[in-house]
Chains A and B, each alone.
Chain A
Amino acid sequence: MGRPAWAQIDPSGDWAPRFDEDWEERIPGPEIGDYLGLPINEAARLRGDSWDAALVELPENQCREHASDYGWRGPSNLHIWQEVDRATQKVIAYHTHLSAYGAEQTIWMDGRPHPPEYAAHTWEGFSTGEWDGDALVITTTHLKENWIRRNGIPRSDLATARVHVMKHGNYLTVAVIVYDPVHLTEPFIRTTDFVYTPQLQMAPWPCEVVDEVDRPAGQVPSHLMGANPFLDEFPANYGIPPEATRGGAETMYPEYRLKMKDMKVLPRPPKKVLNR
């Protein structure tokens, strides 16, 4: 049984997102081939290089919600509420609703075990919570495959996530740590901020699958190995060495900037090229 929440740390309520950090990545979407700051391995890098945005057009992918480790990053209002046992007044669970895709996560606070490995995986996964001081710490397993970055860098279904939800007055900081033995060489940490917004209106998120492009059944858009023509645009447009855009654990750390000074950059195009 989880310890009861103190009023000053209970994250329940309505929260609006703040996009001051990572606007480019979160809202318009990341550039193709931008793997900067991601502790990815070679396999994840090739997945990104092969990724064709047309994949999202496929009917089976159009309304796919973001998984719970990524969903905080979306353009989402957030509603958090408690489920309380009537007799004991203990918190059984927290529930979250994000406006993007109407994603809902349940965080069990009653100490129940995670399901066996052969149980189904979902976008939200199976989550349990506990208190670490004032922070609600969520452990999520049984996730479906999803994104690390929304340009084809994957997070596998074997990953787990540890999420710290921290309330500071009217601000909520959500720190997500992803552990992925398939695609990451180090844990990947990312924070997202919300502001308490009691007047928030939660809109529905209807999504209807349509045939956007007439293509043969079973066709899967992708770039063949070594044949993605767009990978140079990001480093050229921003004057970043191509080597650095390939990501890897060392690109997460400040010292990497020193190393970048000795790297070659591509000539900048006369006009910024955007392929969005």
Chain B
Amino acid sequence: MKRARQQVSYFARRRAAVWIFAAAAVVGLAAMPGRSGAQQASSQPSAAAAPDYSKAEVHVLPVQGNIYMLVGAGGNITVQVGNDGVLLVDTGVAQMSDKVLAAIRSISDKPIRFIINTHVHPDHTGGNEAIAKAGSTIAGGNVVGDIGASAGNQAAVIAFQAVLDRMSAPTGQQAPTPEGAWPTETYTTPERKMFFDGEGIQIIHIPAAHTDGDSMVFFRRSDVISTGDIFVTNRYPIIDLQRGGNVQGVIAGLNRIIEIAIPAAIGGNDVLQEGGTMVIPGHGRLCDVADVVFYQEMVTIIRDRIQDMIKRGMTLEQVKAAKPTRDYDPRYGATSGIWTTDMFVEAVYKSLAPKQ
């Protein structure tokens, strides 16, 4: 019943859509409006110069089991292949869709059946429309009854409800993304389960983390977790306050990865603490749980420092001046680009400070 209700919601929004998606994809994350429509705060991801994707390449990295990782199309893309077809986690930026499709076809000629969006940002959802249209859904019965015969003409796009809310708009208002890019199936529960290509898949919602619509995807037989931007390896975590993000949720998400993942062992002993469950981050290199532990320790230590400074009555400017991230800045910091160290500190501060 919930599914049918959500689909009705989706089609009400679809009728109201007006395409302004191209501009959003070009300027990046900041082009995505928050629910409040508020001015962009300084701790919001900024519209840095749009990357030039004309010469970018998509690289295919086999991970393990049914899983591959596509790198180079914006956010990392996870590809699950098998007899049932192809399932993707995220679709990269719109400009790279043709190259992403070519990369997928170098792995499998099976139909693209499902796309799961980890969150709303266009470096992860930008290819939704083109790639979903290249796929198809097995439709019939009550699915066709609910949403029409066209349901089978594209891959299903699954996301947490907040992703659809942010990509679409109420009737009569302009939607920030084209209707063809929207999720077609949403969930509002802590977890959604499915079975595809011979393995169970857990889609796990992490509340108020990178955004308010984050999902992580755990492929149980392949033993791979696709994390979205809750975990990245190339910068501090982006905490999109305007879209419901919070540092506490990011840490909760990292802790959840550590809880789920099991590192490899030798002869049943716990020696190694690497390998086993592999982790595909939202951006950056392929990882395992040990890499997540280092990152979780970093975010938690910085959170604890800023929390202590807030308790001591320090203002945001005083906290910034104290440079609470300076031991991690050479690895994760930035003074320019879409997410600077200052933005991160401010987002952590605002996540933790008592609301005025």
Contact = CB atoms under 8 A, between A and B. Distances in A.
Contact of B61 (A118, A158, A208): A118
Contacts, number: 115
Contact of A44 (B252, B270, B301, B327): B327
A217 interface: yes
A63 B270 contact: yes
A61 B290 CA distance: 8
A267 interface: no
A50 interface: yes
B327 A46 contact: yes
B271 A205 contact: yes
B308 interface: yes
Contacts of B297: 55, 220, 222
Given A61-B293, A182-B331, A225-B324, A120 B304 contact: no
B327 A50 contact: yes
Interface string B255-276: 1001100000011011111110
A218 B287 CA distance: 19
Interface stretch (B98-106, B115-123, B198-206, B278-286): B278-286
B135 to A, nearest CB: 25
Nearest to A117: B285
A58 to B, nearest CB: 8
Interface residues of A, number: 46
B303 to A, nearest CB: 9
Nearest to B252: A218
Given A120-B286, A120-B287, A145 B273 contact: no
Q: Which of A60, A145, A158, A218: most chain B CB closer than 10 A?
A: A60
Interface residues of B, number: 44
A268 B267 CA distance: 49
Given A60-B289, A117-B285, A208 B326 contact: no
Nearest to B69: A118
Interface of A: 41-47, 50, 55, 60-65, 101-102, 116-123, 144-145, 156-158, 181-183, 204-209, 217-220, 222, 224-225
The 6 A-B residue pairs whose C-beta atoms are closest, nearest first, are: A46-B327, A220-B300, A63-B270, A120-B286, A206-B269, A218-B255
Given A43-B328, A47-B328, 17 more contacts: A42-B326, A44-B327, A50-B301, A55-B297, A60-B293, A62-B270, A63-B269, A101-B271, A121-B287, A122-B275, A144-B290, A144-B294, A157-B291, A206-B271, A209-B270, A217-B259, A225-B322
